[in-house]
């Protein structure tokens, strides 16, 4: 048996070897730009298994049946992999038998990060269903819209969300089952079905799942994103999309996990919400496929989060900038808090090198701190910095099987160190937006490149730096807030004739929505009245911080709101 010192030396040697391999790859490929100025991944292509996500996740179950798959650090409630597999199968069978869910039917999941989340999602997939994830702090208006757009046949939630969902169903004139997870012994609300009874049903005939006929190319996940512009749209992600991205981030030089063995299991803190594709794919699906433990925090409270990082011996953390900033500055954080952390990956929005260094200074230890880049439409990861790079200003290089291109506003290809829109092509790119041919035409070029709507620069050796956003989404705490959605809500106010919304810098949120409102003739109201109107209809992070009354909204000849003009004049 190796001594502790020998293990440390062994790890150091492995790290040096990996870093040398990184350097050798990129020296051999001095220029990442190929014909037509296309940037190919420097990594070898990966093979993409021809299967469904649920089969992919469970394929190595026999290697870690007794390992923990998910656990709540507050209550200690959780599941082993073997238990999760059995419960999700029973739930899936009951979805088909009792609720008549059939192949391709959509089921909504409106949950915070509870230990049951993986069981719910896997059960839906095993039943042949499609999962659409809903933010649990959405209002009835937002839930109504997603249930209608996704044509959901059922919804899974917690007791505290039932009233919102019932209000949403009334608004939508829908009658679908509400399945509720019982987490604290309290009786479930009237008119709902208990998830626990469905999943713990020992008499259900699970052989009904043999009737499911789903393929790698079928849609399995239907998140909603604003894409490059406008209102939320259903993003059709296939089994192949998700599995491709899982295999891509298994590339040894970018992998963020350790192998699960008889003596080791990574502990991953899941503070990022599972309703977002970043956590759903990169954390849930991928980490389950590797037998890793997910520590699920249902509610973000700084002290609880920091205590859990330490007590759960968290060694892998995926985060967004607000979390990193908190970890660098909160009084309750100390080097002891982060004594087990080995890998920290920032995503969802860029983090400055200075902020990364402040966090590392607070941690007072060497760790693998990296950044990645992706979108809901790319399942989500496009690029990631390799191990040992140590450059916090970029988001790394293209993953295996991925091609990149930088173009100008006429889609002409640009070269190294030239700023333009980033285009992506690869197996992780979505099938398209659901029932939205115009959005698909706007988002894909004629030769199949996906337009990210982000301005970027690619260095000669293939390192990508995100420079700015072409799209007008507002990033609040890492969440996307589409101006068009807020403008639509504002125009519903009885005193508002027209409105425009832009993002403005915010000290702790990154950005915040600011509205410019044109009142109807003779209308009299005040900013607070309009803020309260919006507050009732949108999630808390979408709330408008400031309102300015103006005479008219500046628009182009085509009727497009000139947000740049508003920013120049008022921000």
In this structure, the answer to whether residues 61 and 151 fall within a common structural domain is: yes
Q: State how far the alpha carbon of 220 is from the alpha carbons of 2, 89, 158, 422, in Å.
A: 45, 17, 23, 27
For residue 4, is it within any domain?
no
Residues 482, 415 share a domain: no
Q: Which of 180, 214, 248 is the last residue of a domain?
A: 214
CA 385/CA 400 separation, integer angstroms: 13
Looking at the structure, tell me whether residues 162 and 259 fall in a common domain: no
CA dihedral 259, 87, 143, 165 (to 10 degrees): -150
Tell me the pLDDT tens digit for each residue of 490-549.
988 999 988 999 999 998 888 999 999 999 988 889 999 999 999 999 999 999 999 999
pLDDT in tens, 54-95: 999 999 999 999 999 999 999 999 999 999 999 999 999 999
Same structural domain for residues 86 and 122?
A: yes
Q: What pLDDT does residue 3 have? A: 42
| C-alpha to C-alpha distances, 234 to 32, 223, 469, nearest whole angstrom | 34, 6, 21
The verdict on 185 and 250 lying in the same domain is no
Integer angstrom CA distances of residue 109 from 112, 156, 221, 396, 524 = 9, 5, 11, 33, 41
**Residues of the chain with pLDDT > 90: what percent?**
77
Residues contacting 289, CB < 8 A, separation 6+ = 56, 57, 59, 60, 246
Higher-confidence residue of 146 and 11: namely: 146
Lowest-pLDDT choice from 98-112, 121-135, 253-267, 383-397: 383-397
pLDDT at 352: 78
The verdict on residue 440 lying in a domain is: no
Query: Residue 486 maps to which CATH number?
Result: 3.30.300.30
Which of 152, 179, 214 terminates a domain? The answer is 214
Q: Quote the CA–CA distance of 538 and 291 in Å, as a whole number.
A: 37
Q: Are both 557 and 508 inside the same structural domain?
A: yes
pLDDT of residue 52: 98
Kindly state whether residues 297 and 164 are assigned to the same domain. Answer: no
Domain annotation covers residue 436:
no
Give a yes or no: residue 12 inside a domain. Answer: no
Residue 223 domain flag:
no
Strand partners, 405: 423
Q: Which tens digit of pLDDT belongs to each residue from 294-327?
A: 999 999 999 999 999 999 999 999 998 888 988 9
Residues 265 and 245 in one domain: yes
Are 330 and 453 in the same domain?
yes
Count of structural domains, the chain: 3
Which residue segment(s) compose the domain that 509 sits in?
474-570
For residues 374 and 278, the answer to whether their CB atoms sit within 8 Å is yes
Give 419-450 pLDDT, tens digit per residue. Answer: 999 999 999 999 999 999 999 999 999 999 99
pLDDT at 186: 79
Q: Give the CATH number, domain containing residue 311.
A: 3.40.50.12780
pLDDT of residue 290: 98
- Helix 353-363 to helix 321-329 angle (10° resolution) is 40
In a domain, 433, yes or no: no
For residues 136 and 268, state if they share a domain.
Answer: no
pTM for the full model? 0.87
Please check whether residues 406 and 327 belong to one and the same domain: yes
Residue 322 lies in a domain: yes
Tell me which of 147-151, 153-157, 292-296, 483-487 is least confident: 483-487
Average pLDDT, the chain: 91
| Of 118-122, 134-138, 251-255, 474-478, minimum mean pLDDT range | 474-478
- Residues 473, 483: Cα–Cα separation, whole Å: 6
One domain, residues 416 and 553: no
Is 465 a member of any domain?
yes
Mutual angle of helices 140-150 and 162-172, in 10-degree steps: 60
């Amino acid at each position: 048996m190796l001594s502790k010192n020998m293990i440390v030396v062994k790890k150091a040697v492995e790290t040096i070897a990996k870093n040398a391999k990184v350097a050798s790859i990129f020296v051999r490929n001095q220029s990442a730009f190929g014909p037509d100025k296309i940037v190919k991944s420097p990594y070898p292509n990966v093979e993409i298994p021809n299967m469904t996500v649920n089969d992919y996740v469970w394929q190595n179950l026999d290697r870690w049946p007794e390992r923990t798959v998910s656990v709540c650090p507050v209550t200690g409630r959780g599941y082993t992999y073997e238990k999760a597999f059995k419960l999700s199968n029973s739930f899936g069978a009951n979805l088909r038998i009792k609720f008549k869910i059939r192949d391709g039917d959509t089921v909504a999941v409106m949950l915070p990060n509870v230990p049951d989340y993986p069981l719910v999602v896997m059960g839906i997939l095993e039943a042949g269903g499609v999962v659409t994830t809903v933010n649990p702090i959405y209002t009835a208006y937002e839930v109504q819209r997603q249930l209608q757009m996704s044509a959901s046949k059922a919804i899974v939630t917690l007791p505290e969300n039932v009233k919102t969902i019932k209000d949403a169903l009334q608004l939508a004139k829908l009658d679908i089952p509400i399945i509720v997870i019982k987490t604290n012994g309290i009786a479930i609300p009237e008119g709902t079905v208990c998830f626990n009874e469905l999943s713990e049903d020992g008499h259900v005939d699970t052989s009904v799942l043999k009737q499911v006929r789903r393929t790698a190319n079928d849609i399995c996940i239907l998140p909603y994103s604003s894409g490059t512009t406008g209102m939320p749209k259903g993003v059709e992600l296939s089994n192949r999309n998700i599995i491709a991205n899982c295999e891509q981030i298994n590339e040894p030089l970018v992998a963020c996990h350790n192998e699960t063995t008889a003596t080791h299991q990574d502990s991953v803190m899941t503070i990022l919400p599972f309703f977002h594709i970043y956590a759903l794919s990169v954390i849930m699906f991928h980490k389950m496929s590797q037998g890793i433990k997910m520590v699920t925090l249902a509610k973000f409270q700084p002290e609880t989060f920091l205590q859990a990082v330490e007590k759960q011996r968290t060694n892998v953390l995926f985060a967004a900038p607000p979390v990193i900033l908190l970890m660098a500055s909160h009084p309750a954080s100390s080097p002891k808090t982060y004594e087990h952390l080995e890998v920290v990956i920032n995503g969802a929005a860029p983090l400055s090198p200075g902020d990364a260094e402040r966090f590392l200074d607070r941690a007072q230890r060497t760790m693998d701190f990296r950044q990645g880049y992706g979108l809901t439409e790319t399942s989500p990861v496009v690029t990631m910095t390799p191990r040992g790079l140590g450059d916090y200003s970029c988001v790394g290089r293209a993953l295996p099987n991925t091609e990149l291109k930088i173009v100008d506003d006429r889609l002409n290809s640009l070269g190294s160190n030239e700023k333009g829109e980033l285009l992506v092509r690869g197996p992780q790119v979505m099938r398209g937006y659901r029932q939205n041919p115009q959005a698909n035409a706007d988002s894909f070029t004629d030769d199949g490149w996906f337009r990210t709507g982000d301005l970027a620069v690619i260095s000669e050796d293939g390192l990508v730096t995100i420079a700015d956003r072409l799209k007008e989404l507002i990033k609040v705490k890492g969440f996307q807030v589409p101006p068009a959605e807020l403008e639509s809500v504002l125009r519903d106010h009885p005193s508002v004739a027209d409105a425009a919304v832009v993002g403005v810098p915010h000290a702790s949120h990154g950005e915040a929505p600011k509205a410019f409102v044109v009142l109807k003739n003779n209308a009299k109201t005040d900013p607070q009245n309009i803020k309260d109107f919006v507050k009732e209809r949108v999630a808390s992070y979408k709330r408008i911080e400031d309102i300015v009354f103006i005479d008219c909204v500046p628009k182009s000849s085509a009727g497009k709101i000139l947000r740049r003009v508003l920013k120049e004049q008022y921000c």
